Every structure is written in C-alpha cells, then in structure tokens.
Amino acid sequence: MRIPIIAGNWKMNLGRVDEALAFVRSIRHRLNEIEGVERVLCPPFTVLAAVADILRPTHIGLGAQTMHWDDRGAYTGEVSPAMLAGLCQYVILGHSERRTGRVAFPDHAAQVSVENDTAVNRKVHAALAHDLIPIICVGENLAQNEAGQTHEFVGGQVRAALEGLTAKQVERCVIAYEPLWAIGTGKAATPADANRIIGLTIRGAIAEVFGEATAAAVRVQYGGSVNLENIAAFMSMPEVDGALVGGASLKPDFVELVRQAALARCWSKRT
C-alpha cells in the first residue's frame, strides 16, 4: 500500500533562522498529530540544521530543495549528498524552476538549464546511495501541453531520471507530476487530468522498464497550485499519492491542507 506524502516546498522563502523556527514551532505539534500521510518540510539550506533540531522529536520529515551529485569538489555554492545525509531524509530533484533555468535567469527561462535530465539522473543515483529519498519533479510546459506532447515528454523525463536504477531503488523514489503552467499560477490541473497522466504516462513509463509491480509501488504526487480548496479532490484520485505544495506550504493553513489530504484519502478508500 502506498502511503501518501505531502511535501511543502518553501523555495527561497522563510530562510532566516528566526522566521523559519517561528513558523515551524507554530505548526509542528498539530502537523505531527495527523495520521495516515507522510508530511515533509523542504526549507532553504540556510535553515535546514535549525529546523532539523526542532523536528527531531516529531514524525515530520525534512527535505532539501536540490543538491549536487558529487560528495565534494570545486563546485562553488553547491551542497552535496554527503552533507545532507543525516541532516534530512528527502531531497527535491529536477524542480522545473531549476530545469528551465528560472532560478538563474528569470527573464530568459528555458534558455539555460541548470538541471537537465542527465544531471537529475546522476542526482537520483547519488541521493539513493546516501539513503536520501529523491522527490523527482517532472512536467510539461504550456506549449507542449497544447501540442499534445505531454505523454511523450513526461514519459521521457521519467525514463531518463530513473535510468540505471534497480526496481528496488525505483520503489523508494517519489515522483512529483508538476505541469509547469500550473506552478504558482493559481491554475491547477484538473484532478482527473493529473490522475490520468500519473496513471498512464508516469506509471506506464515505469512499468515498461521496471515492471507493473514496481510501477504500482512508486508514490507519485501532484504539484502546481495545490491549496486548501482543491487538495481533497486530488487526494480522492486513486493514482495521486499526495502533493508537492509551494505557496500554500508557507502559511499556518498548511496544517489544515495536510489534514484535508488525510481525510480525503481515508474516505476515498472506504467508498
């Protein structure tokens, strides 16, 4: 059985120790009490250690937002899997803001890829080697969506990210389906579309290479404008195993969002 996972991707927000700790202190007890879903916070590097300290007595997971694949080296500004191991349990890899270069060149997104398929694949291998669970982001842009290329493009991203892994390793990965046009726009995919792409395209691509049993074991989240109003609808979809939440993870309401997710999943299993 796949345990749903809701992860909050803080991006470049709440990165001062005082503000991060104040926020986590305000939600951690209530967040910790929610059963039936894994909950994970992914703050900026600057506060990972401080947040790790106050999450230690809880069951709330901690993740980084990216990492390099090498353990050490002349990579100014980068953070390695060896540095993260022991500090957190998860790492987001291949987020579209990094794949498209938006993090480096906001005005020229898509011109310079900071994280391409090859880099993502190396990072996935490195994360698993260090016992970190990768949350691998995939998703098509608006033009690809409108041209009917979603299946081919997203399937290709999944195959590339998982290349060279064993089926057992694949089962430990989390995949986040995040259509680029839905991220930060307030315009989420429909739950039915997310369900179809996760089932047919993402599990389909995994099944082709690693077999049906592996495809059925991997957890696949939806991400892109998930909020308190739409989380229940996504969670009631059988292929959707949780959400990667950006903007809505920065507010105390995030606890309520996770509670709704747990409730919705619980009800949809009974009916």
Q: Which stretch binds ligand PGA (CB under 6 A): 24-32, 104-112, 151-159, 239-247?
A: 239-247
Q: Which stretch binds ligand PGA (CB under 6 A): 126-134, 140-148, 219-227, 253-261?
A: 219-227
Q: How far is it, in rounded angstroms, from Cα 112 to Cα 121?
A: 18
Catalytic sites, residue numbers: 95, 178
Which of 14, 135, 206, 226 is close enough to bind ligand PGA by CB under 6 A? Answer: 226
Q: Which stretch binds ligand PGA (CB under 6 A): 19-27, 214-222, 229-237, 243-251?
A: 243-251
The answer to whether the beta carbons of residues 50 and 87 sit under 8 Å apart is no
Task: Please name which of 48, 154, 28, 35 lies closest in space to residue 91, comparing C-alpha atoms.
Answer: 48
Q: Does 225 bind ligand PGA (CB under 6 A)?
A: yes
Q: Does 156 bind ligand PGA (CB under 6 A)?
A: no
Q: Which is nearer to ligand PGA, 245 or 264 (CB)?
A: 245
Q: How far is it, in rounded angstroms, from Cα 238 to Cα 245?
A: 19
To the nearest 10°, the Cα dihedral for 59, 139, 257, 248? 100
Q: Does 141 bind ligand PGA (CB under 6 A)?
A: no
Q: Does 242 bind ligand PGA (CB under 6 A)?
A: no
Q: Residue 42's Cα: distance from chain center in Å? A: 9
Task: Please name which of 58, 101, 162 lies closest in space to residue 154, comparing C-alpha atoms.
Answer: 162
Which of 93, 245, 255, 258 is close enough to bind ligand PGA by CB under 6 A? Answer: 245
Which of 15, 61, 204, 247 is close enough to bind ligand PGA by CB under 6 A? Answer: 247
Longest dimension (CA), the chain: 55
Q: Does 140 bind ligand PGA (CB under 6 A)?
A: no
Q: Which is nearer to ligand PGA, 10 or 69 (CB)?
A: 10
Q: Does 184 bind ligand PGA (CB under 6 A)?
A: yes
Q: Residue 149's Cα: distance from chain center in Å? A: 22
What one-character DSSP code corresponds to residue 219? E
The C-alpha angle with vertex 270 and arms to 265 and 271, in degrees rounded to 5, equals 100
Look at the alpha carbons of 13, 5, 63, 209 in this order and tell me if their dihedral is positive or negative.
negative
Task: Provide the residue type at 132 as one letter.
Answer: L
Minimum CB distance to ligand PGA, residue 262 (Å): 18
Which of 38, 115, 140, 178 is close enough to bind ligand PGA by CB under 6 A? Answer: 178
In 3-state terms, what secondary structure has residue 186?
A: coil
Q: Does 64 bind ligand PGA (CB under 6 A)?
A: no
Size of site (CB under 6 A) for ligand PGA: 13
Site residues (vs ligand PGA, CB under 6 A): 9, 178, 183-184, 223-226, 244-248
